[in-house]
Amino acid sequence: MRYNEKELQALSRQPAELAAELGMRGPKKGSGERRPALTGPLAPLCPQPVGALLLERCRVTQEEPSGFSISFLEDPERKYHFECCSEEQCQEWMGALRRASYEFMRRSLIFYRNEIQKMTGKDPLEQFGISEEARFQLGGLKA
């Protein structure tokens, strides 16, 4: 995914679901303190962003009691390591990152759409003018 500096700065001004001082090592050499902030399916790496991680087709794994990593299914060697202050903070970050992924949001949409349809007998997406093709794509997967 490509983005420009202005888009990244605008994203960094949005309220973050989670922000903290974490140790971070990226796939390239170098490590240091970063202040990751979680905003939607993109995770900016600090308030004056130098980059962002698109949380799509990624895996969040606990590496040690107070550390976790983010790797990507297409390139498992591209791994970002984060060190938290405590195991509780680590669990909080891992849960938030998993919930922010595109796959999680899509599964949630499918689940709630099906639940609303069971209760009301109507497709809730119809009121928003979602095309038949899009409804078909959403209906093709089970939550």
- Long-range contacts of residues 20-29, Cβ cutoff 8 Å, at least 24 apart: 20/84, 20/85, 20/89, 20/93, 22/82, 22/83, 22/84, 22/93, 23/82, 23/83, 24/80, 24/81, 24/82, 24/83, 25/80, 25/81, 26/80, 27/77, 27/78, 27/79, 27/80
Domain count, the chain: 2
Q: 120 or 134, which is more confident?
A: 120
Q: 139 or 23, which is more confident?
A: 23
Quote the pTM value.
Answer: 0.63
What is the tens place of the pLDDT at every residue in 44-67? 444 556 667 777 788 899 999 999
Do residues 125 and 59 share a domain? no
Do residues 119 and 90 share a domain? no
Give the type of residue at 142. K
| Mean pLDDT, rounded, for 103-114 | 86
| Adjacent-strand bridge partners of 79 | 71
Domain that holds residue 125: 105-139
pLDDT at 96 over 90: no
* DSSP character at residue 15: P
Do residues 109 and 96 share a domain? no
Whole-number pLDDT of residue 44? 46
Q: How confident is the model at residue 23 (pLDDT cuts 50, 70, 90)?
A: confident
Highest mean pLDDT out of 3-12, 76-85, 132-141: 76-85
Do residues 38 and 94 share a domain? yes
Q: What is the CATH number of the domain that holds 57?
A: 2.30.29.30
CB–CB of 53/42 below 8 Å? yes
Do residues 35 and 77 share a domain? yes
Do residues 94 and 109 share a domain? no
Is 68 exposed, middle or buried (CB count within 10 Å of its CB: 0-12, 13-18, 19+)?
buried
Cβ contacts of 83 within 8 Å, gap of 6 or more: 22, 23, 24, 66, 67
For residue 37, which phi and psi values (nearest 5 degrees)?
-130, 130
What is the tens place of the pLDDT at every residue in 121-142? 988 888 777 766 665 565 554 4
